Homo-oligomer: A and B are copies of this chain.
Amino acid sequence: MDQDMQQYLDKAEVLIEALTYIQRFNRKIIVVKYGGSAMLDEELQKNVIKDVTFLKLVGFKPIIVHGGGKEISKWVSKAGMEPKFIDGLRVTDAETMEIAEMVLNKVNKNLVRMVEELGVRAIGVSGKDGGLLRVDKKLSMTGQDVGFVGDIKKVNAEVLLDLLDKDFLPIVCPVGIDDDYNTYNINADDAAYSIAKAVHAEKLAFLSDIEGVYRDYEDKSSLITALTVDQANELIESGAISGGMIPKLQNCVGAIENGVSRVHILDGRIPHCLLLEIFTKKGIGTAILRNGEED
């Protein structure tokens, strides 16, 4: 057999290896939170979109939830305003909200365009469409009013299920409405987590700028590849992990306690991290599992 052929056979083997994984998640919903650096680098962005499109084509039902943090800041500055944060939350007055929504929709439709370009039917929705995301005002950790920042109180899952039913790949931007139909900005991680629960997702994957969860944040070799719910709770209580990581881990634990089978914290800067995590034995980032399960 010539070398050329051997190369092709290797390719076939890779596809065959993927079989088991394709089977396991057939027709299951996977919510992908997409944000951070992975959204800024054009090459990485293309890879993420290809990965999600692949998931769709081999039978998964992916839903993308995206943020727009840095882009929003850029446009807020452009408009001559000063981005302002209290307790890590963007202070969002009416004018800022108007810009934030415009930017988020721009990002949203751009992702739609990229998925469509790969031949898959996408639709971009915000939390306004079909009343998808209903919120209350969220105060900062120290109880301060930071404007139109929302806390999700209800996800109208049927909107997404209906769109999946019509074979769309839904792409959600984290904008919500309160009982008086005012517009609110929502943290994209929170939106992804709430949506995953509401649609009974099989998997929830966070693509972010970190490699995963570290036992000791200072020691990059202490990356944890898998963590049961109990272990995650211990880690939180132990005080070993840094502040920013705590709500993220709590969301992960909450998702699993609400029926999501597995949550992944992936390093969005690694090309095709989603495919690698799902279709190969290479564990990427940190997986949060049900108690009693092993990777």
Q: How many copies does the complex hold?
A: 6
* A117-125, A221-229, A257-265 - interface stretch: A117-125
**In the complex where A15-B275, A119-B23, A280-B11 touch, is A57 in contact with B58 (Cβ < 8 A)?**
yes
Residue A77, interface by CB 8 Å: no
| CB of A271 within 8 Å of the partner chain | yes
Interface residues of A (CB under 8 A from B): 4-5, 8-9, 11-20, 22-23, 26, 47, 50-51, 53-54, 57-59, 78-79, 98, 101-103, 105-106, 108-109, 112-114, 116-126, 128-131, 159, 162-163, 165-166, 168, 175, 177, 181, 183, 270-272, 275-276, 279-280, 282
Seed contacts A16-B47, A109-B128, A109-B183; 17 additional CB < 8 Å A-B pairs: A5-B270, A8-B280, A9-B276, A11-B14, A11-B280, A12-B276, A14-B15, A15-B54, A16-B50, A23-B119, A57-B59, A98-B106, A101-B109, A114-B181, A121-B159, A123-B130, A130-B168
